[in-house]
């Protein structure tokens, strides 16, 4: 999907005369052996709507706006969960919301194979200033590129003087020319760039408050709930999703929230004793309803304590929590009024994402022979009355897992997690 899709995007950009150029890290477009990277791209302000239409028509999703209003991000996940993404800067090159190169970079752009990039002069200025303001360090790769570029000294000095001043421009150019990157005082230059124009300070102030909101310092990490009747594949999906997210560099925690184990209150022994007695001596339906109705709030309390003492602390640590069930055992309890069970469920915070795995009860019975078809039909009937973020009929374990993982990752990326 990756390179073919990117080539198609650029062909459509060119066809619709969209003024754009890729700023950096585009080497993989010329060498298929290199890993695909997110493309930092400048698009003219007047062309951003046309570009967004092309992204949308090719299946890209636009991420929620982050704290910088000058940046927009678009991404698409393939069937094999590979990601293609663009970080778009509108109308120039920015550090956060502070522009340091205007749209002139688009007038000077040159075509490299099937896409546009800055010419050496603008590439030099952009990479140098990006390393100072954005990265606040000089990556070995960028040092090598800066040393290799053949630039017009007067042009570069003119651009750097506008961004900083003439003295700093000469100093920067000499440091690069002599391969003395360690001599560049990055913190001083960053501070000077901010205070050079009063409008920079004002923009950064607004940006800081937007950053605080975007950072969600006190908002817990996502809670992903995987639900479904017995035999639908909840445990398998939980394990695979957890593994994929961890391999992608995300922090996760898997927490079981069913009735079978992991209780905080000492209800396991009491419950097992009653079940044994019930098997020996069957109680009347009325008596069962009373006993189970009284037991339901106790079990709900145990799950409620598990949420606040086990799940919520993990979410505050910014771990994505994946739960097998997440309180669905409450709604599945027998001999308890359905409305009462729905009322108990309202005590619990809603999960960020909920995935229902389901299938025909007869098929589920073949996967889980210990559960009767009647019981599985009862479970399915109950689950059908609830709302979910995603519903998957489990047919092929690998395809089902990929579909669920793709959905989860898309939602996480869309919401900047």
pLDDT grade for 258, boundaries at 50, 70 and 90: confident
Whether 181 contacts 175, CB under 8 Å: yes
CA distances from 238 to 175, 255, 356 (A): 53, 10, 12
Residue 179's φ and ψ, nearest 5 degrees, are 60, 40
Q: How many CA atoms lie within 13 Å of 189's alpha carbon, on the beta-carbon side?
A: 25
For residue 275, pLDDT over 90 is answered with: no
- Paired tokens of 176: 């690069």
Range(s) of the domain holding residue 179: 2-215
Same domain, 312 and 359: yes
- Paired tokens of 142: 């960028």
Same domain, 173 and 247: no
> CATH number for the domain including 410?
3.40.50.300
Same domain, 348 and 377: yes
Same domain, 331 and 195: no
Whole-number pLDDT of residue 281: 60
Closest CA to 99 of 89, 86, 88, 109: 89
- Paired tokens of 152: 């017009």
Question: What residue ranges in 91-166 does DSSP mark as E strands?
Answer: 93-95, 98-101, 110-112, 115-117
For residue 280, pLDDT over 70 is answered with: no
Q: What share of the chain is helix, strand, coil (3-state, %, to 5)?
A: 55, 15, 30
Q: Pick the last residue of a domain from 175, 195, 215.
A: 215
Whether 320 contacts 417, CB under 8 Å: yes
> CATH number for the domain including 162?
3.30.460
What residues contact 396, with CB distance under 8 A and at least 6 apart?
none
Chain segment 58-71, per-residue pLDDT in tens: 999 999 999 999 99
- Paired tokens of 52: 């967004």
Chain segment 211-220, per-residue pLDDT in tens: 998 888 889 9
Same domain, 282 and 205: no
Residues 224-232, mean pLDDT to the nearest whole number: 93
Same domain, 145 and 267: no
> What interhelical angle do 268-280 and 285-306 show, nearest 10?
160
Whether 346 contacts 212, CB under 8 Å: no
Residue 233 three-state SS = coil
Q: What is the pTM of this model?
A: 0.87
Same domain, 151 and 245: no
Same domain, 139 and 240: no
Same domain, 39 and 144: yes
Whole-number pLDDT of residue 354: 96
Same domain, 316 and 266: yes
E strand or H helix at 86, and its extent? strand 83-90
Strand partners of residue 40? 24, 87
Strand partners of residue 76? 84
Which residue has tokens 């003295």? 167
**How many structural domains are present in the chain?**
2
For residue 279, pLDDT over 60 is answered with: no
Whether 359 contacts 414, CB under 8 Å: no
Chain segment 166-204, per-residue pLDDT in tens: 999 999 999 999 999 999 999 999 999 999 999 999 999
Chain segment 7-26, per-residue pLDDT in tens: 999 999 999 999 999 999 99
Same domain, 167 and 232: no
Q: Count CB-CB contacts under 10 A for residue 37.
A: 14
Q: Pick the last residue of a domain from 215, 246, 270.
A: 215
Same domain, 299 and 320: yes
d(CA 233, CA 237): 6
Q: Pick the last residue of a domain from 160, 191, 215.
A: 215
d(CA 18, CA 13): 5
């Amino acid at each position: 999907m990756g390179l073919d899709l990117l080539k198609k995007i650029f062909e459509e950009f060119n066809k619709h005369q969209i003024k754009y150029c890729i700023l950096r890290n585009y080497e993989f477009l010329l060498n298929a052996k290199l890993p695909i990277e997110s493309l930092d791209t400048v698009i003219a302000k007047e062309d951003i709507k046309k570009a967004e239409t092309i992204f949308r028509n090719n299946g890209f999703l636009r991420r929620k706006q982050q704290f910088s209003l000058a940046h927009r991000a678009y991404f698409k996940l393939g069937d094999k969960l590979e990601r293609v993404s663009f970080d778009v800067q509108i109308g120039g090159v920015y550090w956060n919301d502070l522009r340091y190169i205007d749209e002139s970079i688009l007038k000077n752009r040159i075509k490299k194979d099937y896409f546009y990039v800055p010419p050496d002069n603008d590439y030099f200025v952009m990479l140098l200033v990006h390393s100072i303001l954005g990265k606040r360090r000089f990556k070995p790769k960028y040092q090598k590129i800066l040393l290799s570029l053949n630039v017009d000294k007067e042009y570069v000095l003119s651009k750097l003087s506008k961004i900083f001043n003439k003295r700093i421009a000469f100093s920067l150019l000499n440091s690069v020319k002599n391969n003395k990157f360690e001599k560049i005082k990055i913190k001083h230059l960053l501070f000077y760039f901010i205070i050079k124009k009063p409008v920079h300070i004002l923009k950064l102030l607004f940006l800081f408050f937007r950053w605080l909101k975007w950072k969600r310092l006190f908002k817990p990490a996502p809670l992903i709930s995987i639900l479904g009747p017995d035999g639908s594949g909840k445990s398998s999906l939980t394990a695979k999703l957890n593994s994929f997210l961890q391999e992608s560099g995300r922090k996760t925690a898997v927490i079981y929230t069913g009735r079978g184990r992991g209780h905080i209150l000492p209800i396991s022994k009491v419950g097992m004793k009653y079940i044994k007695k019930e098997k020996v001596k069957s109680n009347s339906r009325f008596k069962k309803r009373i006993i189970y109705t009284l037991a339901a709030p106790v079990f709900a309390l145990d799950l409620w304590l598990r949420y606040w003492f086990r799940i919520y602390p993990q979410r505050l640590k910014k771990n994505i929590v994946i739960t097998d069930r997440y309180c669905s055992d409450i709604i599945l309890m027998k001999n308890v009024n359905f409305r009462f069970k729905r009322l108990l469920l309202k005590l619990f915070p809603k999960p960020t994402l909920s995935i229902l795995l389901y299938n025909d009860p007869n098929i589920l019975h073949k996967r889980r022979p210990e559960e009767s078809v009647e019981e599985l039909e009862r479970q399915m009937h109950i689950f059908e009355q609830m709302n979910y973020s995603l519903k998957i009929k489990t047919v092929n374990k690998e395809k089902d897992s990929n579909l669920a993982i793709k959905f989860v990752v898309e939602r996480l990326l869309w919401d900047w997690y």
